[in-house]
Amino acid sequence: MKIAFFDTKSYDKASFEELGLRNGIDFKFYETKLNEDTVRLANGFDGVCIFVNDTANKAVVDALYEYGVKIIILRCAGFNNVDLKATEGKIMVVRVPAYSPYAVAEHTMALILTSVRRIHKAFVRTKSFNFSLNDLTGFDLYEKTVGVIGTGKIGKIFINICKGFGMKVLAYDKYPDKNADIEYVELDELFKKSDIISLHCPLTDETYHIIDKGSIEKMKRGVLIVNTSRGALIDADALLDGIKARKVGGACLDVYEEESDFFFEDYSSHIVEDDVLARLISMPNVLVTSHQAFLTEEALANIAQTSIENTLEFFKTGKCKNEVASHE
């Protein structure tokens, strides 16, 4: 089995190369992302392995099918970058539904603690031997209300972490888990009552810009908005306006709507032309990490293992338990 592996990073290669060899899978690693300009690199391969910022739109899918590619292996949980209607009846799409929900949930709380206790600012100060406490005042999480949008595996783990801090949890999910000890409310109530709002839902047509100008207007003044899920859940322009108006007290973003142009790469010597991203990063109450919530040793091992198992299952049986169907 020959698999073209796109958007390769050193940690990807270390996780996949040896495991692939042991299972008869020959990975060809490309640093470039999959898109309409690079899809020709997949010619002659049995499958492609892609990540969140690769593009598998209709044009790419049609080209892959023409080249004889039989499977798209997503080494992530999300699949919004794949045109599933275009793949239907042509190419199998598989994913890693849960590689380490603990990694993402823990990173979410790390962002919150860093933001509300000004740890990032204190770190920079003490590096210059500045031990002043001015402007480092935070607030207790105890008895604060956190609104959690999305109660899948990651959302549930994050809720348990919040309960450990003595926080009150309100949750919204289109498909609430009636067996879980979770207080579900409608979105408007969650927006109105939450001191912190954390996003843990997939990106769909319904959740696109679930945080926008209208929803921000319903929130408490000084609310902290956290997103470790998908960038387009938040209208970045509306978020920036909310911060400038002092309606939003802060934001913690591990994802960004237009991140595919920047995240996972070093732009420290370049001028970033995305004015909204540049403004957000410049804000003292905005904390941005570059889609690293998933990045733990355990998660990388699980991603590689599940991706290999998905590939082997498909080529042996023509089916896969982790197939992504077009109706999802």
Q: What tens digit of pLDDT does each residue of 80-93 get? A: 899 999 999 999 99
Q: Alpha-carbon dihedral of residues 287, 289, 291, 293, nearest 10 degrees?
A: -90
Out of 209, 230, 258, 273, the active site residue is: 230
pLDDT tens figures, 35-71: 999 999 999 999 999 998 899 999 999 999 999 999 9
pLDDT tens figures, 176-194: 999 999 999 999 999 999 9
Topology at the third CATH level for domain 101-288: Rossmann fold (3.40.50)
Q: Catalytic: 186?
A: no
CATH code given to domain 2-99+296-317? 3.40.50.720
- Going by C-alpha positions, the residue among 2, 5, 1 that lies closest to residue 304 is 5
What is the rounded CA–CA span in Å between residue 53 and residue 70? 21
Out of 259, 273, 297, 313, the active site residue is: 259
The pLDDT of residue 258 is above 90 = no
Q: Catalytic: 298?
A: no
pLDDT tens figures, 115-150: 999 999 999 999 999 999 999 999 999 999 999 999
Out of 291, 297, 298, 328, the active site residue is: 291
Question: Range(s) for CATH 3.40.50.720 in the chain?
Answer: 2-99+296-317, 101-288
Write down the pTM of the prediction. 0.87
The pLDDT of residue 261 is above 60 = yes
Q: How far is CA 257 from CA 12, 218, 227, 316, in A?
A: 23, 22, 11, 38
The pLDDT of residue 328 is above 70 = no
Q: Catalytic: 117?
A: no
